[in-house]
Amino acid sequence: MVCVPSLPFRSGFVALVGKPNVGKSTLLNAYLGKKVSIVSNKPQTTRQRILGILTRPDAQIIFIDSPGWHKPEHPLGKYMVSVAKGIIGEGDVLVMLLDAAQGFQREDEWVVEQVRAAKRPALLAINKVDRVNKGKLLPLIEEAVSRKLFEEIIPISATTQVQLDVLLKEMLKRLPEGPRWYQEGQVTDQSTELIIREFIREAALQATRQEVPHAVAVSVDHVEQKERATVIRATIFVEREGQKGILIGKKGQMLKQIGTAARQEIERWLSQRVFLELWVKVASDWRDNPSRLRDLGYTHEPK
């Protein structure tokens, strides 16, 4: 009989760090094969710390997604950056994402500084390589190597799923031995209500431009489980009357489009039919108002 020693089970936290829009949430969703963190082409889409849990026979990786590093202009922005900074101290492994087409810019340098100060194993994922040619990539890799900070530098594409397996292997190698912290079927720490809010916010973000996406917040006011469907009533908050007009659109067309997109995502998540009723309200300058921020869940208090 051949005795094969069983490999130890590994588990731990992988913090995904980087400035806004580099693809942190897209990467997390790609690993989970499911959308747990909303994505848009607008910066500052992610506003909170979100866990994504990947359970395999040999390991459990708990990804921490967060808002990107940026210069905050509002109390909301300050909260977001404090969340981003906080997760650096939580990761057993840090994965910094960089946009291949942009290279190291000022906001990336802030992230580099924080990663260096954290003194934890760090990997660099140069994302969006589907957008650049090799001629541009090689000098960027050399520049990254010269920083003597990253244990591995891996060009990836989160959307076309290039080299994600290579990056995952490098994360796994660096995780400590440990137990399965979360049950096998659990993919995120967010409540259903929070996921619903986020899907509605994502649909609103994707449909709007300029200042409007940043002024959007969502509250879920009512969730009712009927026999074969879930009935949801939610409110989209904006900061000005003009933004309200934009979100509702001509003859309510825009709100209808947002509602349909959000409903489809929520149905996918709940694997059930959903009836979604959306309202739009103005909450003047909610991003500057600490008690509004707390009401909307942008707080360090437990969810």
Catalog residues that contact Mg ion under the rule CB under 5 A: 24-25, 45-46
Which option in ligand GDP, Mg ion, none does residue 127 bind, with CB closer than 5 to 8 A by kind? ligand GDP
Complete edge-to-edge strand list for the sheet that includes strand 50-55:
50-55, 59-65, 10-17, 93-99, 122-127, 152-155
Among 21, 48, 55, 60, binds ligand GDP (CB under 6 A): 21
| Cα 161 from Cα 123, distance rounded (Å) | 17
- In the complex, least distance from residue 279 CB atom to Mg ion, rounded to whole angstroms: 26
204 DSSP assignment? H
258 in contact with ligand GDP (CB under 6 A) = no
264 in contact with ligand GDP (CB under 6 A) = no
- In the complex, least distance from residue 69 CB atom to Mg ion, rounded to whole angstroms: 12
Q: Which long-range contacts (CB under 8 A, 24 or more apart) does 142-149 make?
A: 143/103, 143/104, 144/98, 144/104, 147/112, 149/112, 149/115, 149/116, 149/122, 149/124
Among 11, 25, 48, 230, binds ligand GDP (CB under 6 A): 25
Judge whether 78 and 97 are in contact, CB under 8 Å. no
- In the complex, least distance from residue 160 CB atom to ligand GDP, rounded to whole angstroms: 6
Give the helix ranges, DSSP H, for 71-130.
75-88, 106-118
70 in contact with ligand GDP (CB under 6 A) = no
23 in contact with ligand GDP (CB under 6 A) = yes
40 in contact with ligand GDP (CB under 6 A) = yes
- Give the footprint of ligand GDP on this chain (CB under 6 A): 18, 20-26, 39-41, 45-46, 68, 127-128, 130-131, 157-159
